[in-house]
Amino acid sequence: MENQDINEESINNQEDNNVQNDTASQDNVTATPSAEELLAEEKDRYIRLYAEFENYKKRTSKEKMEFFQFANQEMMVSMLGVLDDFERALKEIAKNGNPADLQGVELIYQKFKNKLTEKGLKPMEVRAGDSFNVDFHEAITQIPAPSEDLKGKIVDVIETGYTLSDKVIRFAKVVTGN
């Protein structure tokens, strides 16, 4: 009887092992991806890599364009002082100078200003009575407003502001009323 029990036990163990082997082989079948799944996965990886590369190309070309656009910004900022000196000289020559001298200096000033404008430099249009905007103006001082309508607005423009390709490179220096 004992032999029969041992025999039945070994048969039961073998059946359990067979059932476990069957489930393990089914797991192995589903775990190995098919050729279509591998192809879809590689295609997805390729599309993502391609999109990433396209974004990289766009970003670097945009950075390159910005670099060329603002490469001469430092030179333009240094030329603004010369432009201001020309404007002051024109005012002084107009007050008490020779008209021929005024005309010659004005021609040089216009030529210089046109060359800077060709490179993207634009003066800001700021007038007395305009609203004060921190994005474009720098308040040097505040004075009592000469009239009620000038409170919180620009009373006088001390120095012209300039933009280079829609980027402010020098804020307009203004006096505001309070």
Q: Is the confidence at residue 147, as pLDDT, over 90?
A: no
Whether residue 148 is contained in a domain is answered as yes
Q: Is the confidence at residue 136, as pLDDT, over 90?
A: yes
State whether 125 and 80 are in the same domain: no
Whether residue 27 is contained in a domain is answered as no
How far apart CA 119 and CA 73 sit, in angstroms, is 10
State whether 87 and 109 are in the same domain: yes
Q: Is the confidence at residue 178, as pLDDT, over 60?
A: yes
164-177, pLDDT tens digit by residue? 888 899 999 999 99
Whether residue 101 is contained in a domain is answered as yes
pLDDT at 10 (0 to 100) = 63
Confidence of residue 148 (pLDDT cuts 50, 70, 90): confident
Give the count of domains, the chain: 3
Structural domain range at position 63:
35-70
Neighbours of 74 (CB within 10 A): 10
Whether residue 4 is contained in a domain is answered as no
Whether residue 13 is contained in a domain is answered as no
Residue scoring higher pLDDT (26 or 70): 70
Q: Tell me what the mean pLDDT of segment 105-116 comes to.
A: 94
pLDDT at 25 (0 to 100) = 52
Which residues make beta-bridge pairs with 121? Answer: 164
43-80, pLDDT tens digit by residue? 999 999 999 999 999 999 999 988 877 778 888 899 99
- The three-state (H, E, C) secondary structure of the chain, written as one string: CHHHHHHHHHHHHHHHHHHHHHHHHHHHHHHCCCHHHHHHHHHHHHHHHHHHHHHHHHHHHHHHHHHHHHCCHHHHHHHHHHHHHHHHHHHHHHHHCCHHHHHHHHHHHHHHHHHHHHCCEEECCCCCCCECCCCCEEEEEEECCCCHHHECEEEEEEECCEEECCEEEECEEEEEEC
pLDDT at 8 (0 to 100) = 63
pLDDT at 116 (0 to 100) = 92
pLDDT at 96 (0 to 100) = 86
pLDDT at 128 (0 to 100) = 86
